[in-house]
Homo-oligomer: A and B are copies of this chain.
Amino acid sequence: MLEELKEIVYEANMELPKRGLITYTWGNVSGFDKESGYFVIKPSGIDYDSMMPEDMVVMNLNGEKVEGKYKPSSDTPTHIELYKKYPDIGGIVHTHSSFATSWAQAGRDIPLYGTTHADYFYGEIPCVRSLTHDEINNEYEKNTGLAIIETLGKKGMNPLYTPGILCTNHGAFTWGKEPLEAVHNSVVLEEVAKMAYYTESINSNVKPAPKDIANKHFFRKHGENAYYGQN
C-alpha cells in the first residue's frame, strides 16, 4: 500500500546523507497521505546504505503500525502531533545537522539576518522551550511535538510561513507541503544557521534585517503576488 509515497519518502530520506545533513542514522523523513489519513516514515536505526523503499513503515495517526516489517522511527510520536495539528503539512524532517543543532544547543532563535533566510522563513526561526522533567520522562517524543505546537501558537506563526523549528538541546524539525519540500527546508535551515553564526562573529552588534526585506523576499517567492521562478 501507498507504494508511491513510500518511494517518495525513501528518496527524501536518501537526500539527508547526500546533502550532508546527517551522520549515520541521525535523521528521519515522513510523508502524509491525505486520502487514507496514514503516513509513511523511515524505520528506526536502519543504515541508509542498505535501506530500500519497501522498508518504509506505514502508520496511522493513533500511532499504530498499519504495514511494515520494521519498527518506525523513535521520533514517530512527534510527527503524529504535527500532522494532527497542521493539516496543510504533507512532509516532516528531523535532523541533527551541525549548525542548526548548535543553535538549538545554544537555546536561541535564529534571527532573520538576510534574504536567504527571508526567502523561506517569514521571521526568526524559533527555538522551543526546554521540556520539563515530567515531559521528558513520560511520552518524551509526543511532548516534543506538543512543545513545537505551543511555540508556534504563542508566537502566532503560520507553520507554512515558518516551516521549521529548533528543539533546545536536541536538533531541528522542518516540514513542508510534501516530503521533498520539507528536506529542502532542512537544507535552507542549515545554511541559514551557518550564516547567522558567521554574521554574529563578523559583527557582534548586528541587528536583524529590516521588516521590509523580510516582507519583500518572502512574498517574492510565496503567495499570490510571487514572481520568482516560472509560475
Residue of B nearest to A23 (CB): B191
Known: A71-B230, A191-B23, A220-B74. A114 touches B171 (CB 8 A): yes
Partner of A44, one of B23, B98, B228: B228
Known: A228-B74, A230-B45. A106 touches B199 (CB 8 A): yes
As for how many copies of this chain the complex holds, the number is 4
Interface size on A, residues (CB 8 A): 59
Interchain nearest-CB distance for A7 vs B (Å): 19
Chain B residues near A44 (CB-CB < 8 A): 228-230
In the complex, the answer to whether A102 meets B202 with C-beta atoms within 8 Å is: yes
* Bound-state Cα–Cα, A228 to B26, Å: 11
Partner of A201, one of B98, B115, B197: B197
Tell yes or no: A184 within 8 A of B by CB. yes
Interchain nearest-CB distance for A78 vs B (Å): 13
* Bound-state Cα–Cα, A80 to B187, Å: 31
* Bound-state Cα–Cα, A184 to B99, Å: 21
Known: A136-B216, A227-B74. A203 touches B108 (CB 8 A): yes
Residue of B nearest to A102 (CB): B198
* Bound-state Cα–Cα, A225 to B165, Å: 29
A184-231 contacts to B, CB under 8 A, are 184, 187-188, 191, 194-203, 206, 209-210, 212-213, 216, 220, 227-230
In the complex, the answer to whether A202 meets B103 with C-beta atoms within 8 Å is: yes
A117-167 contacts to B, CB under 8 A, are 130-131, 133, 136-137, 140
Chain B residues near A200 (CB-CB < 8 A): 106, 202
Tell yes or no: A170 within 8 A of B by CB. yes
In the complex, the answer to whether A230 meets B74 with C-beta atoms within 8 Å is: no
Q: 5 pairs across A/B with beta carbons < 8 Å?
A: A44-B230, A74-B228, A105-B114, A169-B210, A170-B213
